[in-house]
A and B are shown apart, each in its own frame.
Chain A
Amino acid sequence: MSFDDKKHIRGQVLALKSFKKSRQLNCFSDCSTTVSLAFRRCGANMTLAKQTLELWRGTMKEVGGKFGTGVLSYFKFLKWLLMFNIFSFLVNFGFITIPQLIYHPTPDIPAGVSFKGLEILTGAGYFSHTVMYYGGYSNKTQGTGGRSEYNMQLAYFFTVAAYMVLCGAALIYSMASSFRKKYVLADSGLGGAWQLLCSWDFSVTNEKAVRQRKNNLRIQLKESLSEKVQVALLPLTERLKHYGVFLGTWLLSTGMALGCGASVYFLSSSGSLLEEAATLLLPFVVSLINLVVPLFYSLFKKIEHYSNPRMQVYAIIVRNVILKMSILGILCYYWMKDVANTFSCWESIVGQALYRLVIMDFLFIMLGSFFGEFLSNVIGTKCIQSLGVPEFDVARNVLDLIYAQTLAWIGIYFSPLLPVIQIIKFFILFYLKKVSLTQNCQPPRRAGRAAQMQTIFIAILFFPSFVGALSMVAYTVWTLPPSDKCGPFRGLNTTFSAIQIWMDDLNRVDAFQWTVWIYQHVIRSEIFYFLISLIILVFIYIFRQITQGRQLLITLLRQQIVNVSSGELSGLTCLVHQSCCVRSGCVYVMMLLKCWNNIFS
């Protein structure tokens, strides 16, 4: 529709509206139209405000124009994680730190401890007595001298719990919508020709980039043609050999991951945690393992022969995730079993260990950027010409981001101000990666399936990363006894008993009996969770049956289109014949209804 037609229609609509207006001199309808117009204008203004306030919009457009949507997805992911951390900082600072600072403005630092420069790296020393860590918060209900009461224990617990719940909800929502849009509705065929043609990136403006993309597209089209022509059946011995190689590499990679985990455990339990400079050794080793072992994994590419290059990427991702999560798992196990029993103010010690891991991870990402991109560029262009300019490895970088965010999520309970460090880290990382990208890398050669990779990354962010962090914090809150000399929960059996005490207090007041009832019969009763799980399972089963029925219906309708267009009058008989072959109950019913309709219409 051309612009003139649109203006014409709009003119007619406005004329109709003003005609109606002149007929009904009704105050109410006049009011309601003004209100709805005001709402629409407000909505438009809000979108405008959102766009102007949007962080890094110009930079992301520039990166997207030159490198395409695959690389851009890394930067969008980084921005999204930054939002999580900003929200966490605001919530923690507002509800936990500010009350603490109001009532105890100066931290009580024991004599003899002063600020040396080493604290920035180790997080111990001067910092360990400030509000940076769990130990710096008092357990008293603040409220002396006429000011209103502020229960620090409840505030701490509910702030952390609310943040985790909101994070979980946001992750589940984005994962589900991403899954629906990009996985289920997407074509499951291997690199179909239409996918390649329709995914031409119109936002690429750089001439050289466009030429390169055309080149890459041609190569990919040729590859997809040869894939279809090739006969896929290999002889049995070849296939057995491939499976043997797969088994070997997977066993080797899992074994390496577990071996690294065990060595980290021995290192942490043998070293002394109290000498400041020596405490940096553990994070250093962890980050070194995270940097070096994935390079080793990428060597396996030369031996394995996956039928589909996408499976190769998935294999690399799964191996890296297993490595990183097993190391983190071993560290969490160590903290919860050994550190919790040995040290007096153990939550602060764990917070400091996490701080060191975060800082060391940051330093190593910078080093990795230097070696991975800058040096590869120099080697590729000057020394070994055949290697060429490196590509930006989106998968590896996104997994680094996920690892960093896991550390931040675990640290929410032990170190409420850790999000500040994370925010600074992500800010610097954005600009660092952007500079490194534009100076050292070339646009990617394969038109990767950026949308599906994004779904996988969000799924990995939810499943091992967030769920792991949540379960660790939940285990700490539920079963571990808090340290009795520092922190807001000192003196209690478990952190959760603070809620129990609060419920007992509420029980004495008549007005809040319903809250106590909900607490006792819903939150603490096992039957409730059992019933909920059962109902959810039944719903899942029903929806799955419906989905299967619909898929069958789609196949039948497609067949019907072909039959109708080729002129066969087989509609009714075809459906009746096929309905006899259908097993699923609801599709059979639908087919019958269609038949009745056709007969009686």
Chain B
Amino acid sequence: MGTTASQLRKDLLSEYQELTFLTKQEIILAHKRFSELLSKEDRNVPTPRVPMEKVLSLPELKSNPFRKRICHVFSTSDMKDGSLTFEDFLDLLSAFSDSATLEIKSHYAFRIFDFDDDGTLDGGDLEKLVNCLTGETDDTRLTTEEMRQLISNILEESDIDKDGTVNLSEFQHVISRSPDFVSSFKIVL
């Protein structure tokens, strides 16, 4: 982190610029927004962590159905509580930026959709994914029958080696055939 809460050191700025897909302006803006989330005591700590609830108060993430998964995926905390340092935050913005490549985006999308963190998307993950996107309450969900049908359609479409789960390569293959993905997998401050 920078020496004061409002300034980022030049060498750190150029280091961040080389390590992420963000431009200088975007990094400075990210720093400003991150500092606003810090509480007063945290500002003087060398690498402060922002708890997940505060990160989720950002307007860009507040209404996102995958907000909790995003925080968990990008968090480097040992306690797995979804808290983010500034560098985790930059990582997040870099993966969701305009100039990130399709491989990066599909890699992170796979990790976000993998609810049980086991490296493949099985039926349970797909069911949670559909529920996230259609609605949380009972009257907005799909019925069990419809869910079963939908999951079998999805697996039929994307499971190339027919093992009942979608692994990273199969996921990336499906994503590469979806032209809207790159433009919609974007969060800009």
Chain A contacts to B: CB under 8 angstroms: 2-4, 6-7, 10, 44, 47-48, 51-52, 61, 69, 181-182, 185-187, 189, 192-195, 197-207, 210, 214-215, 217-218, 221-222, 224-225, 228-229, 449-452, 558, 561-562, 564-566
Q: Is the CB of B181 within 8 A of A198?
A: yes
Q: Is the CB of A198 within 8 A of B186?
A: no
Chain B residues in 8 Å Cβ range of A205:
59-60, 62-63
Assembly CA distance A185 to B142 (angstroms) = 31
Give 10 new A-B contacts, CB below 8 A, not counting A214-B134, A218-B135, A565-B163: A3-B90, A4-B76, A48-B24, A52-B25, A200-B65, A200-B184, A203-B186, A217-B134, A218-B140, A562-B162
Kindly supply a per-residue 1/0 record for chain B positions 175-189, scoring 1 wherever the CB is within 8 Å of any chain A CB and 0 otherwise. 111111101111110
Assembly CA distance A206 to B18 (angstroms) = 32
Chain A residues in 8 Å Cβ range of B181:
198-199
A-facing residues in B135-163 (Cβ within 8 Å): 135, 140, 142, 146, 149-150, 153-154, 157-158, 160-163
Q: Is the CB of B180 within 8 A of A199?
A: yes
Closest to A557 in B: B160
Q: Is the CB of A565 within 8 A of B162?
A: yes
Interface pairs (15), CB distance under 8 Å? A3-B85, A3-B90, A3-B91, A48-B24, A48-B25, A186-B177, A197-B154, A198-B181, A200-B133, A214-B133, A215-B140, A221-B130, A451-B183, A562-B161, A566-B162
Q: A2-B91, A4-B87, A210-B65 are in contact. Are A197 and B129 (CB under 8 A)?
A: yes
Closest CB in chain A relative to B169 CB, distance in Å: 10
Closest to A196 in B: B133
Q: A10-B18, A44-B17, A218-B140 are in contact. Are A199 and B184 (CB under 8 A)?
A: yes
Q: Is the CB of B19 within 8 A of A193?
A: no
Closest CB in chain A relative to B130 CB, distance in Å: 7
Chain B residues in 8 Å Cβ range of A201:
184
Q: Is the CB of A193 within 8 A of B154?
A: yes
Chain B residues in 8 Å Cβ range of A187:
174, 177-178
A7, A202, A225, A451: which has the most chain B beta carbons within 10 Å?
A202
Q: Is the CB of B76 within 8 A of A565?
A: no
Assembly CA distance A52 to B175 (angstroms) = 31
Q: Is the CB of B184 within 8 A of A51?
A: no
Chain B contacts to A: CB under 8 angstroms: 15, 17-19, 23-25, 59-60, 62-66, 76, 85, 87-88, 90-91, 96, 109, 129-130, 133-135, 140, 142, 146, 149-150, 153-154, 157-158, 160-163, 174-181, 183-188
Q: A52-B25, A194-B157, A566-B162 are in contact. Are A3 and B76 (CB under 8 A)?
A: yes
Closest to A48 in B: B23
Closest CB in chain A relative to B71 CB, distance in Å: 14
Q: Is the CB of B87 within 8 A of A218?
A: no
Chain B residues in 8 Å Cβ range of A185:
176-177, 179
The contact of B142 among A210, A215, A221, by CB within 8 Å, is A221
Chain A residues in 8 Å Cβ range of B17:
44
Q: Is the CB of B160 within 8 A of A561?
A: yes
Q: A197-B133, A218-B134, A222-B142 are in contact. Are A207 and B157 (CB under 8 A)?
A: no
Chain B residues in 8 Å Cβ range of A449:
180
Chain B residues in 8 Å Cβ range of A206:
63
Which 10 residue pairs across A and B have the least CB separation, nearest first? A3-B87, A565-B161, A451-B179, A182-B179, A218-B134, A199-B180, A210-B63, A187-B177, A201-B184, A207-B63
Assembly CA distance A203 to B183 (angstroms) = 9
Assembly CA distance A69 to B178 (angstroms) = 14
Assembly CA distance A311 to B189 (angstroms) = 37
**Chain A, interface SS category:** helix
Closest CB in chain A relative to B109 CB, distance in Å: 7
Q: Is the CB of B184 within 8 A of A69?
A: yes
Chain A residues in 8 Å Cβ range of B59:
205
Chain A residues in 8 Å Cβ range of B60:
205
The contact of B184 among A4, A202, A215, A228, by CB within 8 Å, is A202
Assembly CA distance A61 to B186 (angstroms) = 11
Q: Is the CB of B154 within 8 A of A214?
A: no
Closest to A203 in B: B186
Chain A residues in 8 Å Cβ range of B109:
198
Chain A residues in 8 Å Cβ range of B90:
3
Closest CB in chain A relative to B153 CB, distance in Å: 5
Q: A51-B25, A228-B153 are in contact. Are A562 and B160 (CB under 8 A)?
A: yes
Assembly CA distance A189 to B177 (angstroms) = 11
Assembly CA distance A69 to B180 (angstroms) = 9
Closest to B24 in A: A48
Q: A4-B76, A214-B140, A222-B146 are in contact. Are A181 and B18 (CB under 8 A)?
A: no
Chain A residues in 8 Å Cβ range of B149:
225, 228-229
Assembly CA distance A210 to B135 (angstroms) = 10
Assembly CA distance A186 to B130 (angstroms) = 22
Assembly CA distance A452 to B178 (angstroms) = 10
Chain A residues in 8 Å Cβ range of B157:
189, 192-194
Closest CB in chain A relative to B55 CB, distance in Å: 15
Q: Is the CB of B188 within 8 A of A214?
A: no
The contact of A194 among B24, B154, B186, by CB within 8 Å, is B154
Closest to B16 in A: A3
Chain A residues in 8 Å Cβ range of B88:
2-3
Assembly CA distance A451 to B184 (angstroms) = 11
Q: A2-B76, A47-B23, A202-B184 are in contact. Are A186 and B154 (CB under 8 A)?
A: no
Assembly CA distance A44 to B22 (angstroms) = 10
Assembly CA distance A562 to B170 (angstroms) = 13
Assembly CA distance A222 to B153 (angstroms) = 12
Chain B residues in 8 Å Cβ range of A48:
23-25
Q: Is the CB of B179 within 8 A of A452?
A: yes
Q: Is the CB of A199 within 8 A of B178?
A: yes
Assembly CA distance A51 to B97 (angstroms) = 13
Assembly CA distance A224 to B153 (angstroms) = 10
Q: A6-B19, A44-B23, A69-B183 are in contact. Are A214 and B65 (CB under 8 A)?
A: yes
Chain B residues in 8 Å Cβ range of A52:
25
Q: Is the CB of A561 within 8 A of B23?
A: no
Chain B residues in 8 Å Cβ range of A192:
153, 157
Chain A residues in 8 Å Cβ range of B161:
561-562, 564-565
Chain A residues in 8 Å Cβ range of B133:
197, 200, 214, 217
Q: Is the CB of B174 within 8 A of A198?
A: yes
Assembly CA distance A200 to B129 (angstroms) = 11
Q: A3-B87, A451-B183 are in contact. Are A10 and B19 (CB under 8 A)?
A: yes
Chain B residues in 8 Å Cβ range of A202:
64, 66, 96, 184-187
Q: Is the CB of B178 within 8 A of A194?
A: yes
